[in-house]
Amino acid sequence: MRMLGFKLVKYIALVKYAACVAIAALILSLGLNAANAAEGGLKPEDTPYYSRYNFIKSDNYLNIGVQPLLLPSGIITKVMSRDLILRQRLQEMGIKMVFYSFLGGNDVSKFFLSDDIQAGVAGDMPTITAASKKDVFIPAIMQQSFVSIVARRPEFIEELKGKRIGYIPGSTGHYSLMMILSYSGLTEKDVTLVPLGHAEMASALSDKKIFAFSVTEPTVSLTLQNYPDSVVIHKVMTVGYCYFSREFYTKHPQAVRQIVAAEIRAAKWIKGGRENLFLAATWLQADIKAITGDKYKITPEQIADVTIKDMMWLAEVPVVSEKSLKKDGQIASIVEFMRSYGKIDSTVSAEKIIGSFDRKLIYDILNEPVKYSLNEFKYDVKAAQDVKAAR
């Protein structure tokens, strides 16, 4: 990456500074990749693609919201949607699982809270938002990767003061940016925040409409490839979850177990070989094109490259860490942060949110690998695009 107009000594200092701030930010900043929802951005009803959805509300249906533009969870859920073992097990219980694509975690949360879907995949902020307003069951991690601040040139964080920064309202990039700024003695008022969608960020940076943006993969890698003068000036680890309504889990605990088993199976299959990875990337590319049109161009090769890079961070056992659920752990810190910014009600306790997480279910599954077919892989490789839209 070219560091035009900068002395080597400043670049070295920048790297050291970013590393120090990243360590501090990691304490609080588990995140998500929401898209064009929340205040200041597009609302779900403003997205024409969503108007096609025909949510069937029945005890025999499980509607789940997924995010094709969030990697690696997007590719994992894509593989799950083609899992013939999962389909059969759910069919035996009289349940049909329907996957709905959303642009981001806040969109997933909106439709979850309106009871259109009963499960979702999102980062910690939308997941905690959902758990603050509804009884939620969170059995598994689905995402571990980075959110990055990408800029036109290297800068110290405090040098962002007065600059225009692109962000997706309510997203990982948004909240991580707020935290990073605060660690450097800045607030949102010290910068100009510019709400953008994934497809707009790289061009806005190149056209100098913004100086930087904060977002997750694959937008980061695509920008660096297409605009080689751009540079990552900060990275923070993020985490996302698969969550269910407590009502659905109470009625169908074995169905939830089969779904989590399918997640474990999908991750194994993707990691099982380049051919598997590329096939899954081809499937996911179709979903990305369906929901974004031609605005967000990404190839299966690019999806595969980002996925394999980010899946190295995803734990083999996708269980929520015990440490993060302590009274002084990461989840409690995030709850306090969201309360302080008015993102959740001030009366919501960290204990309520922490009580939504479950660590036992995954270990129950892992202790019975044959029962849950953890080492069997049967996928519908010829299926047409199966993320549902209204007919």
Could you read off the pLDDT of 205-215 as tens digits, one per residue? 999 999 999 98
Per cent of the chain over pLDDT 70 is: 85
Q: Are 121 and 240 in contact (CB under 8 A)?
A: yes
Do 60 and 81 reside in the same domain of the chain?
A: yes
Q: What is the pLDDT of residue 16?
A: 37
Domain boundary among 237, 272, 303: 237
Q: How far apart are CA 358 and CA 365, in angstroms?
A: 13
The DSSP string of 60-102 is TEEEEEE-TTSTTHHHHHHHHTTBHHHHHHHHHTT-EEEEEE-
Check residue 146 and give left, alpha or beta (phi > 0: left; psi -120 to 50: alpha).
beta
Mean pLDDT of the region 352-356? 97
Of the two residues 30 and 170, the one the predictor is more confident about is 170
> What are residue 65's phi and psi, to 5 degrees?
-95, 130
Query: Is residue 273 situated within a structural domain?
Result: yes
pLDDT on residue 237: 84
Domain-located, residue 62: yes
Evaluate whether residue 196 is within a structural domain. yes
Is a pLDDT exceeding 70 seen at residue 386?
Answer: no
Q: What is the DSSP string of 334-367?
A: HHHHHHHTTSS-TT--HHHHHTTB-SHHHHHHHT
Q: How many domains does the chain have?
A: 2
Interval 341-346 mean pLDDT: 86
List the domain range (segments joined by +) for residue 223: 146-237
Kindly state whether residue 53 falls inside one of the protein's structural domains. yes
Choose the final residue of a domain: 206, 237, 268.
Answer: 237
Residue 26 lies in a domain: no
Top pLDDT among 268 and 237 is at 268
334 and 210 in a common domain: no
Same domain? For 256 and 349 the reply is yes
Higher pLDDT residue, 352 or 146?
352
Which pLDDT band, with edges at 50, 70 and 90, does 130 fall under? very high
Please name the residue that has the structure tokens 């690998």.
369
Contact in structure between 258 and 43 (CB atoms under 8 Å): no
User: 159 and 171 in one domain?
Assistant: yes
Residues 254 and 350 in one domain: yes
78 pLDDT tier (thresholds 50, 70, 90):
very high
Q: Are residues 233 and 250 in the same domain?
A: no
* 391 domain-assigned: no
Residues 166 and 141 in one domain: no
Task: Let me know if residue 318 belongs to a domain.
Answer: yes
Higher pLDDT, residue 242 or 105: 242
CATH code: domain of residue 72: 3.40.190.10
122: helix, coil or strand? strand
Lowest-pLDDT choice from 222-226, 264-268, 323-327: 222-226
The answer as to whether 132 is a domain residue is yes
CB 71 within 8 A of CB 145: yes
Sign of CA dihedral 86, 89, 90, 96: positive
Domain boundary among 210, 237, 264: 237
